[in-house]
Chain A
Amino acid sequence: MGILDVIGPIMVGPSSSHTAGACRIGLFAKKLLGQRAISANFFLHGSFSATGEGHGTPLALLAGLMGWSPEDTRIQNAMKIANKSGLDYKFSAQDLGNVHPNSVMIQLKGKSNKVEVCASSIGGGQISVWSIDGFAVELNGENPTLLVSCPDRRGLIASISSIIAEAQISIAAMKVHRNIFTGKNMMTIELDNMPPLSIIDSINNLTNIDMVRLISSVFSGT
């Protein structure tokens, strides 16, 4: 944490965890879907469901889903604007288990993509994404992130990291999550800088890649 995190972020109130963090979770989910959301199902856990309404948590989640950042003053009208845009959304309370009190599971559907993401707002507007499509992950949304889903096959990591190296980008952190039942892997690769969008095609052109997503930072530099 730095001084400009202590004096910051610039945000719409009333709560850095219930409003700013919630917005960033919505924004992360939107970027993860990679296309416009047609329907969204939000499952609010713990304090998000208990006091979220009064803190504008549903508004902030919707705002993020529409691509707005936590400082966007349209957040208080997010529901009206989402309704007008034809987004089909639903909020309900759900116990997500032994997780942070400010947590949410979001199921998103777009024209061709769908995704399920679980995340927590851990204070000061910081977030922790801990599950994507059933894979346990560990992301904070700060770095541009590549998400690759593929079979558990030798050499894929080397091929993907050389594509990243060719783009002159450094890897800040990388994790491989295995599902022993399906034989599928999910790689999360956090990068120092945003690579060109063409990197998605380059990785997709490798054999047997199921899905590639490039998620830019949900922290817009303020």
Chain B
Amino acid sequence: MFQESTTFQMFLEQANDWQVPLHNVFLDYEVTVSKRPRKVLWEMMRSRIDVMQTSINEGLSKPQNSRSGLIRGDANLMQGWIDSGHSLLDPLFSKIIASALAVAEVNACMGRIVAAPTAGSCGVLPSVLITLAHHKKINEDELIGAFFTAGGIGIVIEQRASLSGAAGGCQAEVGSASAMAAGGLVEMLGGSPDQVGHAISFALTNVMGLICDPVLGLVEVPCAKRNVLGAVNAVACAEMALSGQKSIFSADAIIETMGKVGRKLPEEFRETAKGGIATIPLPDKF
């Protein structure tokens, strides 16, 4: 039923043929692959979303301080800024930024998170999908559906490129998370399967070439703030797609290009802490 190597086009055609949202097609795929009933899979996704919500709350309400000292409760600081009414744009936008930071910081401080697609990029999907679902009063089943679409996009990226910073740089982790969130968001807000594809293309194109350069080799700096980049980019790309803008290149072409760029990245830019930000000498206090 499903080919060895999946393409986004394949899922897209099926969704269009059957006139159903993409998440139905992805859920069928997951039933085939996992041999688990639909209902079980749906509940598993629900419990993942519950964990994500808990990590958002934890990171926003309590300052997260990592053992290395590189993470010092910035999500909590951002929440204070929102509460004091200083948000530059709508406070909702600040909330997305704060939530992405919150989950990434909870991860850095050995709290419980959902790797989505990786632990290093775990802040992107919850901050975008959960925050906007609350704001737009999206019902829980639609939110769960959006996560299946996001996950399905992740499957395609994993098979045609990579989801790992060690293999493909930050573009493969935060970049993939951003494309997954953008696609999931388009579907959640009523966009068509084709628009999901355009959002994926926009999101990955914008982060093409982003390197993985973790300071001290830890998942802290620049990772937490790169999660914000992924989240904000996802919102912008989803909105562009929803407005009717079309990508010149297909999602599959962009995904494959990201994979090619990743394979060409020198080793120092692939999670080895030997390049980029990771090579700047740290101030004495660290």
Contacts and interface: CB of A to CB of B under 8 A. Distances in A.
Chain A interface SS verdict (over half): mixed
A134 interface: no
Given A50-B217, A51-B218, A54-B217, A7 B116 contact: yes
Given A15-B219, A51-B217, A2 B119 contact: no
Nearest to B115: A16
Contacts of B113: 10-13
Nearest to B114: A10
Residue from B107, B119, B120, B152 whose CB has the most chain A CB atoms within 10 Å? B119
Nearest to B156: A6
Interface residues of B, number: 48
Contact of A14 (B27, B45, B220): B220
Contacts of A16: 115, 118-119
A10 B151 contact: no
A7 B118 CA distance: 8
Interface residues of A, number: 32
A100 to B, nearest CB: 11
Chain B interface SS verdict (over half): helix
Given A14-B119, A124-B115, A3 B30 contact: yes
Contacts of A4: 30, 34, 41, 44-45, 48, 151
A73 B45 contact: no
Interface of A: 1-4, 6-16, 19-20, 47, 50-51, 54-56, 59, 71, 73, 75-76, 123-125, 222
Interface of B: 26-27, 29-30, 33-34, 41, 44-45, 47-48, 51, 67-68, 106-120, 122, 125, 147-148, 150-152, 154-155, 158, 163-164, 166, 216-220, 273
5 contacts: A6-B158, A8-B44, A10-B51, A20-B119, A222-B47
